Amino acid sequence: MNINMNPNSELHQYVVNVPNVVQVPDVLVSQAEEFKAAIMMYTCAIREVKTKLEVLNDELSVRNQRNPIEMIKSRVKKPMSIVEKLRRRGLPVSLESMMDHLDDVAGIRVICSFVDDIYAIADMLVSQDDITVIATKDYIKNPKPNGYRSYHLIIEIPVFFSHEKRDMRVEVQIRTIAMDFWASLDHQLKYKKEREGDSDEISEDLRLCAEIIAGTDQKMLEIRKSIEAKGGTVKK
């Protein structure tokens, strides 16, 4: 069963690239209408958070004469990925289980220019009085063993619909351009390794690249601060 969405909506734009995202899994067909409504709600929650981030970026571009945010990406988790995650966790496969236990159905990725921008944007976002922080994971100060770096937030935001207000959870990942490039490559190669049974050599190469990227991010931050200390500005 397909979810018919407004052709101008963010979810539809994502669906254009990944058509199967609108398929209601067989196990949830009995709740198909409710599932469509839930996906719509998650999409609206993404829009609310994206607007907040865009406002912050616009304000900071005027105040600091540069945009700390390079790009904002978003996605609603694929229905089959939702089902698989519930099953992996030993949870019931139902709409209620999805909304009660999964925090990453709605996801936003914020790509920043510099490492200090990550923390500045995160602090400004969570300080807003309608945002509730559910969880924080700093994989920049504490990278994963494979070298992955990013700043993760699970936040809850009220979304006002025609007949109700719903508190919706959104996962926000904030990282630099270099961190995002590394993570994208790691994601691609992970599935390639799983299919072909590749050795650990690629994993080690990626881990070393992550260290180099972290050093480059730090050096770029130092250069920017040096320019600013001399009275200059870093413009884009």
Enzyme catalytic residues: 171
Any alpha helices (H) in 66-197, and if so which ranges?
A: 79-88, 95-101, 115-126, 177-196
Candidates 67, 104, 60, 63; CA nearest to 82 is 104
Report the chain's terminal Cα–Cα distance, integer Å. Answer: 45
Bridge partners of 175, per DSSP, are 111
The Cα–Cα gap between 73 and 54 comes to 12
The helix (run of H) or strand (run of E) holding residue 115 is helix 115-126
| DSSP three-state, residue 171 | strand
